Structures are given as C-alpha cells and as structure tokens.
Amino acid sequence: MKSLNVTFVTLLLNLTNKLKSMKKLIALIISSRTTLVLLIIFTIAIASATFIEDKYDTITAKLLVYNAKWFEFLLLLLVINFIGSIKRYHLLSKGKLPGFLFHVAFIVIIIGAGVTRYIGFEGSMHIRQGESSNFIYTSETFLTIKTTDNNQNYSTVEPLVLSEFIKNSFDINMDIKGKGQVEVKYKNYIKNAQEIYEETDGEGINLIELTLTVQGHKDVVLIKDGEFKETHGFVISFNNNEIEDALKIINDNNRLFLSYPEAIKITKMPEMLVTEISKDSIGELKAKQLYEPEDSGINLILTKHYRNAKVRYIAGDSENDGPDALLVNVSFNGKSKDVTILGGQGYVDNYQKVTLDGLNLQMSYGIKTLKLPFYLHLNKFILERYAGSDSPSSYASEVTLIDKNKGFSENYRIYMNHVLNYDGFRFFQSSYDQDEKGTILSVNHDFYGTWISYFGYFLLTLGFILTLLNKNSRYRDLIHKIKNKRKKRKKIASLLIFAFLLVTSSYSQETSNHIHEANPNPVSVQHAEKFGRLIVQTYEGRFKPVNTLAYDVLHKISRKDKFDVPKYGKMNAMQVFIDLPVNAEFWKQQKIIYVREKSVMGIIGAEGKRASFNNFFNEDGSYKLKNVAETAFRNSPSEQNTFDKEIIKVNERVEIFMMAFQGNLLKIFPLQNSVNNKWIHWNDPLATKPLKGAIKALNQDLNLKELNYKNLMMLYLTDVFNATRSGDYSRPNRILGYFKNIQKQSSAGDLLPSESKITTEISYNKSKIFINLKNIYALLSVVLLVLAFIDNLKSKKSKILTTTLNVFIGILAIAFIYHTYGMGLRWYLSGHAPWSNGYEALILIAWGSLLAGFSFVRYSKITLAATALLAFFTLMTASHSSYDPQLTNLQPVLKSYWLIIHVATLTISYGFLGLGFILGLMNLILYLIKNVKNYKKIDLIIAELTHINEMNLTVGLFLATVGTFLGGIWANESWGRYWGWDAKETWALVIVLTYSIVLHFRLVPKMKSLYIFNVGAVVSFASVLMTFFGVNYYLSKGMHSYASGETPIFPIWAWILIFSLLVLIIAAGIKEKLFKKSINA
C-alpha cells in the first residue's frame, strides 16, 4: 500500500512538472518577445525569398520558403501567439476592442490563406472563336501513373513541384490487386531539357542527323528509324514509305541511300565535283557531300548517322522553351527500370509507356485537365487599341454560358477587371491568341478562401479606424503624453542658445551677350501659340497639343524651356519647335544640345555645356561619336561607366533634334479611312497620297498641283518662312485653320481633346507646377526648421516669432493646395488617376508626406517642417531624368477603381513613413548635440517628437496595411489571385511587418527606449525604398519590375549615404550611453 502511495505521488509530481513545463512553453510562445522574434523571422524569410526568386526562379522560392512546411509551421506559431496575446493583454476588455480586432483579423487572414492553399485551385481555359469548352488546364503540375490489369483500372495522381536548384525527392506507390506494388522513385530533374544522342555497343535506335539550308537559314533535323519529318513544307523520311513524294532515305547494311521523285544534284566537298542522282533513282548518301533536290529550294548535308544510339537529356538554354525531363526509377515485383518522362508546365497527357514484368504502365508529368459542369462558348473576341497605335486599350470575350444540367444559358462579356462568376468558378480575361481569334481565360475556384480573407481585411480596417477614435487606445495616450511633455518644456526657465549651420547652394545660370540682328525674325509668339493648339498623336496613341510635344522635346534636347538665340533673341519652346523645320540649317549651327561631360565635348571639339548639331559631324558628314556610341551600346548596363551613359544620352538628344527639324515627330495629319485612327507626319510615305472627299475643296484656295499632306505642310512652312520677314501671318494662320478642320472632320468627336482641355494642358505646361513647388518646398523647409526649432527652444513665446511661423505655415498650406490642384490637372488631362507611373507616384508621395505633416501640425511645427523637406527631396527625385513626366495612356489591367484606391492608399503611406524617417533622423542628431546644459530641454523635445512619430507611423502602418490588402482585392478582381507572392506585394507586406515590429518595441522591456524606436524609424524606411526602387529596378522577375537585362549598378552615393546613417546611429547611441552614465554618476 505504501509503495502504491509513493508511485501515485511520483506520478502526480511528474504530471505537475510536465504541466509547469507546458505552462512555461505556452508562456514563451505567447510572449511579446516571441511575437517580435516570429515577426522578424517571417519578415526575413519572405524578403529573402524575393532574392531567391530573382537569382533562381519562382518555383525554387516557393519550395524553399512560401510552400515549405517550416513556413506553414511559422504561421501556425503566429496564430497561437496572436490568440495568446488576446488573453495576455486582456484585449477582450471594453477599452481594447481595436487591439482585439487587429489580432483576430490577422488570424482570419492566415486561415483564409490556408483555405486557399489546400482547397482552392487555379487554371486556364482556351477557347477559339465560335467554339465551346468545358474543361480547364490546371496551373500546377502533376505526376500521373495509370494502368489496366484484369479489366480493372488503377491510377494515382500526385502534385509535383520540382526545381533544378535544390534537392528533390519523392517516392510514390500504387497497389495492383493480387500482384504487388508499383514504386516510383525520383532520380533526377532537368529543366528545359534537350536531347543528345550517344552511340552504344548495346541495344539502341538508329537515327540520322541532317543539316538543312533553306533560303540562307540552317536547321538541324533528327529523324529516327521508321519516322519522317516535315520542314518548310519538305518531307524527309527514314526507312518509311508512307509519303510517296518524300525524299526517302534508306538504311541497308549500315549504308544510307536516298531517292526522290526529281533529280538530285550532288556536290562533293572540298573538290566541288558535281554529279547527279537521276529522277526516281537510288544513290548513296554520304557525309561531306551537298545534296540539292531539284525544285525544292533545300540543300542538305548528312551530319551524323547514329547506330544503336541512346538518348540522354541535358539542360538547355533558358531562351529555348523545351519540355522538362523527369527521370524516375520504376520497380515492380523485384524488377526495375529507369524511365525519362518529358513534360512540365504547358504539357498535358504526354504519356510515356513503360512495360515491367508484363504490366503496361502509362506515366505523364505535366498539367492536367479538369472537366467543368458547364460550357463556355466564345461568340467573339474583341481587341481595342489606342488610336494609331498597336498598344491594346482593352480586350474582351463575349461568351455564352451553357449549363445543360440546369437548363441555363446566358450571354456574358468578360474583360479586364470584369469577372464572370458562376457555380463557384470565376473567369478572368487573361490573354488572347496572336491572330486575335481566340481567348485565354484564367479560372479561379476559391470561394471560401477569398471571402475569409476579405473578412480579415474588413476586421483589420475596422480595427485601425477604431484605434484612431478610441479614447483608451495607445494613439490617444500618445496625444496626452505629447501635451504633458510640452507643458514640462515650457516650465524650463533657462533660455538655450542653439547653433544652426545653414548651407546655401548657389545655382549657376548661363548668360551670354549676343548681338541681335533685326532679320531674320523668329516665328511670332502669337502664331507659335496657335500652332501649339493643333493636336498631335504620340507613338503610343495619345492625342495631345503640339505645345506639350514642343516642351517635352526641347527640354529633352537642351534641358531648357526658354532660349536666347543669336539673331533671334528670346524664344520660348513653341517658337523654337516650329522654327526648327522652317530654318533647319540655322538651327543646326545653334548651341542647343545639352552635353554634361567635358570629355564628350572634347571629342566633338566644342566648349561649354551645349553644342550645335553640326558640332557632332565632320566635314565629310561622318558622325564624330560613331565609334564611342557603338562601344557604349555594346557594353551591358553593368559594364557601362559614366562616359558610356553620357554618350548614350547625348546620342539620343542628337537623334531627337534631327527628328524635330525633319518633322518626323509631328504626327498631325489623320490618315484617311484608317481603321485604327492612325495619324502621320508629312514625311511618311502615306503623306503623298492624294486627299479625297470634302478636303479637296481646300485646293480652290491653295492651288497645289496635288493636294496631299506633304504638299500642304511644305506650303505652310514656306508661308511661315515668308511671314517671318513680312510680319504678315494671315496666310499661315488660314492654313492652320485648315489643319484644325481636317483634324476635327477626320476623327470621331470623342477621340480628340476638347478646346477647354487643350487650353488647360497648355496652361499646365507653362505653369511648371511641380518644378516650382520643388523650389518652394526647399525654401519653406529651411525657414520652417529654423523658426520651429527656435520656437521650441525659447522659454518665452514671442508673438512676432509665432506670427512669422504661422505665416510660413499658411504659405506651405497654399503650396499644398496648389500641389493638389496640379495632381487634379494631371487626372483631368490624362483621364486616369495620377499615380500610374514612377513620376506620378513620387508626386503622390510628396503630397502624402505633406498630408502627414498637416495631420500633426497642432502637436509640432517641427514635424511640418520635416515634411516640407521630405516633399522637396521627393520632387527633386521626380525631376531626375530617370522619371518621365509625360502624360501617357494606361495599360488595360490598370483600368480599375480598386487599383486607384490601392495605389493611392499605399503611396500616401510612404509619405507618412518618410516623415517617420526624417523625425527619427532629427532625434538622432539631437542626441549628438545634447549636453549637460541643454539636456532637459532636448530630452523633452526628443520625447515629444518620438511620441508624434509613433502616432505618425501608426497612421502610416494603417495606410500601408490597408493599401497592401486592397492590392490583393485588385489582383483578385483582375486575374483571380488575391495573393501570389510577387516581389512587389511581398515587399509591401515586408513594410507592414517591419513597422509592426518597430511599433511593438515598447512591449519588450529591453527595447523600450526612445533611442531604439528612433533607430527603428530610420532603418525601417529601407523597406519602403526597397519596395519603391529596389523591386522595380533590381528584382527582374516580378510583375512590377522595370528591370531588363543586367541589373543596374548600385550607386556609390547610396553606399556613402548608408554608411553615413550607420555612423550617425552608432555615434548617437554611444553619445547617449556615455551621457547617461555621466548624469547618473
């Protein structure tokens, strides 16, 4: 009995110890430290996956990270941690509802992703016009094994994702009743496999390799024993008599013979002896002889005759799109065989037959077909293009959905961002056949995963909104802390003397003294303005005023909009643009082409920053930059130095200048009877075609020998030239009126911009809104920073200082309104939201940063000054030559209101996060200038700015999170996948995770300091820069990438900036640590 009691007590103690250990484990899993560790691991993992994808391929990234079991386990731990955090921080209590919603939202989103991964599936449907389809092709690849034994069918289908860069492995078994088990083991995988043949001593196949020359193009043709090949309409057979008029090659005792219905000319090399095989006769086929079948247009040479050859597969070039080769070992009843299965993406039912111990197997590796319970019939595929361009404006599939089981039939139109939903399936317009007679629809079946995820997005958004409104939230608590810090700061009696170093930059402006002659005169401003109101069609199909083209071209050539020209005096871009074709020889002598590098100017023998067109050519007309330009273009982007890049830019400016004076840019004439509203310039061959219809009546006034666009333009230019001397522009003005009438009468009314829109666009060109705002923000940021710091450091408020500060804030507010007006103008003129390219995105970031500054202006004027500085730097980046400010058309997939909201929300968040970077930077500088005399005041300013920054980053995180998941909704509505781990969306998630980590530092005691938070605010901005710049230009395999070919070199100035920031962070940390020790000593 005593021993039983001892055993019971021992078991109880063991159970208690296990429960304690379990509690410790659970406490560890749900702790705030674990939250940060899991989030950091998750962030590093998905960020690393984008680089893995770029270095290798998408499949490798999925196998190593996104689809890996360890990654799923990580997400499971995060779910457990979030659930534990709800209890740990009592988030179910009344005042903590927003926090509860956050954690529940992320749990729901992860569950939705799990449902999508394990239940949902994707595919594609291809339908030709006038045909129907009721099956889709899966996007995943599968290994299919099937056989029939004793009238019973056996099959197994296993999903298979393989990569050539990692170690693959699988072992698949299939039971055959009463006979045993078929086992299939992985041996090797070759991506984009190519066949090579090797002769062996054992069994193999016979085949011949021929080199064919057709119209100068060489083809290598392999023909196996018993087969035939057709190439360029010519049939060659090897031991095959199926096709009578084929060139027949026969193997007889390892000697090859050939015959043909016509004579065959034979040229023996290298002697070049010519013989002939007569019509329908047999001759021997030998190496080193050229055979020319009569009237075939083909020459052939026997390259190789393989005897008892076996095939081997090697990895082919990435440019060649061949099948993948999967090598497996198949075993059954103690017997085994190595089998190579060709297939992969795009291959369906490509079965390989295998016989093993009397069992006939069929094996395939590739996509599979899924049968749908209904049909889609393609009535018509419609492709619309931008006027005069090959660029698609939109494309649509007009289909009839036929469900025979339900007796249902209805017509639908599927196009970009307009989805067909039926019976849990969603059909999206994806692509189309080259002949435009067939459509490719992407198909998604993920009803539950999608709506669970959407519900998570809703909870997340609701949680953020309640955070900003809830009186008990951390956000509101920060507001109270800021007010308390400000009160304490005002009580400090000592007046601090603060030293500011103002660095001013002077900009040099070229000035020159010219002797202006009375004649010839430039084209008058009034007439140039009238010409500028004509419509021109761009190469991508947009219609815009010639005025816009003039400003774009002249700024591209000379980096100037106004000119002081010898003999002509002061001219604007429009005057120069119209005068270029009128006085081409004069303009070829003017120094108007911008050249930055002196080394380039040295080659062409010119001085200064601008050269004339003639400077680039020798007296014999040869191009001086020809050799260096060819060398620069041959070098890959990573090999191009500063000189090469400048040569390429200058070469482009010279070409554009030449196109300008030749008139090849002025596509102002509508091509008559054009199906696609194409417009042409007067040097186009079509410009010489006689004009027909009502336009012919113009010749009653003009009296041209033949009325065509070329003669019309020549007459106009001649009249303009004469008008510059006489001052009488009545006739050129009248011809301009004819041009305008031709444009209006030859084009649909809704195709051309209205007169009011033309006026607005010309006004927009002249106002240079964002260039002026850049300078305004630069000036205001310096003034506001100085005034705001003085205001914060003074113990007594000065009415003059406060009034002055408020006046400059008012000016900044006016500039912000003007900025908004400029964005509104771009929206009105382009017809789409002004954030569709890099230039517009930077404008929106600048706008968003100012919005952030004004959001917190009542808490700190320094914050507003910081946003003005950020806006200046952003617009300065936008004005860089890498960003094109031109208004352009939209791609079809970008025409979505979800995209407008997604991009706007996400891009504006960059402004708030950028402000976080600036405020963090300011605080780190304040740590360096803090000393014994000023530390109380400085500490209060740091605390105040840090609390403001935490509020700011909270709003930025809210916008970034909502923007990221709105992007998922856009993607789902556009092509049927709300999350696909594309590099851009992955890095958008990295932003969310990074700033979530920074905002959670305060929950870990050792990371609760203001210094660490400010370091986090500075360092985390790297995720924004990577998302905006890095993904676009350094990761070449994402859908959002602008990169092509070689990755651009990371600039030296960026390395210097990174190093400087690291030095600042370390120096501020050391200074703060030493200062605290000295104070506490």
Quick check: 879 pLDDT over 90? no
- Least confident span in 512-521, 824-833, 1051-1060: 512-521
Q: Which residues pair with 314 in a beta bridge?
A: 194
The arithmetic mean of pLDDT across residues 1050-1076, rounded, is 89
Tokens of 400: 């009839």
State how far the Cα of 987 lies from the Cα of 966, in Å rounded to an integer: 15
Q: What value does the mean pLDDT of the chain take?
A: 82
976: burial class by Cβ within 10 Å (0-12, 13-18, 19+)? buried
Residue 356 contacts residue 337 (beta carbons within 8 Å): yes
- Give the Cα separation of 827 and 829 in Å (integer): 6
What one-letter code names the amino acid at 815?
A: A
**Residue scoring higher pLDDT (411 or 103):** 411
pLDDT at 634: 62
Tell me if 208 sits within 8 A of 238, measured CB to CB: yes
> Which residue, among 46, 47, 58, has the nearest Cα to 1038 in the 3D structure?
58
- pLDDT of 389 > 60? The answer is no
The pLDDT of residue 500 is: 29
**Average pLDDT over every residue of 393-420:** 87
Provide mean pLDDT across the span 508-516: 30
CA angle 521, 522, 526 (to 5 degrees): 115
pLDDT band at 1042 (very low <50, low <70, confident <90, very high): very low
Which one has a higher pLDDT value, 142 or 637?
142
- Higher pLDDT pick, 162 / 430: 162
Residue 626 has pLDDT above 70, yes or no: yes
pLDDT given for residue 144 in this prediction: 94
Q: How confident is the model at residue 475 (pLDDT cuts 50, 70, 90)?
A: low
Report whether pLDDT(701) > 70: yes
Please state, for a pLDDT cut of 90, what percent of the chain lies above it: 24
Rounded to the nearest angstrom, the gap between the alpha carbon of residue 189 and the centroid of all alpha carbons in its chain is 31
Where does the pLDDT of residue 19 fall: very low under 50, low under 70, confident under 90, or very high at 90 and above? low
Q: What is the pLDDT averaged over residues 571-582? A: 89
**pLDDT at res. 145:** 93
DSSP state of 30: T
What pLDDT does residue 218 have?
80
**Angle, CA of 403, 409 and 414, to the nearest 5°:** 95
Q: What is the pLDDT of residue 333?
A: 87
Q: Which residue has the higher pLDDT, 519 or 472?
A: 472
pLDDT of residue 631: 79
Query: The whole model's pTM is what?
Result: 0.69
Residue 687 · residue 671 · CB < 8 Å: no
Give pLDDT, residue 512. Answer: 30
Query: Looking only at Cα atoms, what is the longest distance across the chain?
Result: 130
How confident is the model over 207-243, as pLDDT tens digits? 999 999 887 778 888 898 899 988 878 899 999 888 8
pLDDT at 513: 32
Which bin fits 56, alpha (ψ -120 to 50), beta or left (φ > 0)?
alpha
Contacts of 741 by beta carbon, 8 Å cutoff, 6+ apart:
none
Percent share of the chain, pLDDT over 70: 86
Q: What is the structure's pLDDT at 971? A: 77
Q: Which backbone phi and psi does 295 adopt, to 5 degrees?
A: 60, 20
The answer to whether residue 605 scores a pLDDT higher than 80 is yes
In this prediction, residue 1016 carries a pLDDT of: 94
Neighbours of 465 (CB within 10 A): 14
Give the per-residue pLDDT at 8.
57
Higher pLDDT among residues 843 and 45, named by residue: 45
pLDDT at 439 over 80: yes
Residues 911-935 have a mean pLDDT of 88
374, 321, 339, 299: which is closest to 172 by C-alpha? Answer: 339
- Look at residue 696 in the predicted model and tell me its pLDDT: 82
1065 pLDDT exceeds 90?
yes
pLDDT band at 662 (very low <50, low <70, confident <90, very high): confident
- Report pLDDT digits (tens) over 980-994: 888 888 999 999 999
**CA-closest candidate to residue 812, choices 777, 843, 846:** 777
pLDDT at 599: 86
| Residue 1011 Cα to chain centre, angstroms | 36
pLDDT, tens only, 289-342: 999 998 888 899 999 898 888 888 888 776 567 789 999 999 998 889 999 999
Q: Is the pLDDT of residue 1005 over 60?
A: yes
Q: Is the pLDDT of residue 186 over 90?
A: yes
Q: Mind listing the pLDDT tens digit for each residue in 760-784?
A: 888 888 888 888 898 898 888 888 8
Q: Which of 248-257, 724-733, 1047-1056 has the least mean pLDDT?
A: 1047-1056
Residues 964-979 have a mean pLDDT of: 77
What is d(CA 56, CA 62) in angstroms, rounded to the nearest whole number?
A: 11
Q: What is the dihedral of CA 146, 149, 153, 157, to 10 degrees?
A: -20
Tokens 């209904």 locate to: 374
Report, as an integer, the average pLDDT of 47-52: 92
pLDDT at 583 over 80: yes
Least confident segment among 89-103, 357-371, 507-521:
507-521
Residue 798 or residue 1072, greater confidence? 1072
CB neighbour list of residue 237: distance below 8 Å, 6 or more residues apart = 223, 227, 228, 229, 243, 246, 247, 248, 249
pLDDT over threshold 70, residue 476 = no
pLDDT higher than threshold 80 for residue 1015? yes
Q: Provide the residue type at 1080 as one letter.
A: N
Look at residues 543, 538, 888 and name the one whose alpha carbon lies nearest to residue 749. 543
Q: What is the pLDDT of residue 250?
A: 92
Q: How does residue 697 score in pLDDT terms, banded at 50, 70 and 90?
A: confident
pLDDT tens per residue across span 734-768: 999 888 888 888 766 667 888 888 888 888 888 88
Phi, psi of 354 (to 5 degrees): -135, 130
Tell me the C-alpha distance between 681 and 669, whole Å. Answer: 6
Least confident piece of the model among 5-9, 272-276, 608-612: 5-9
* pLDDT of amino acid 387: 54
Q: Return the higher-pLDDT residue of 45 and 628.
A: 45
Hey, which bits of 485-633 come out as E strands? 535-537, 543-545, 562-565, 569-572, 593-594, 610-611
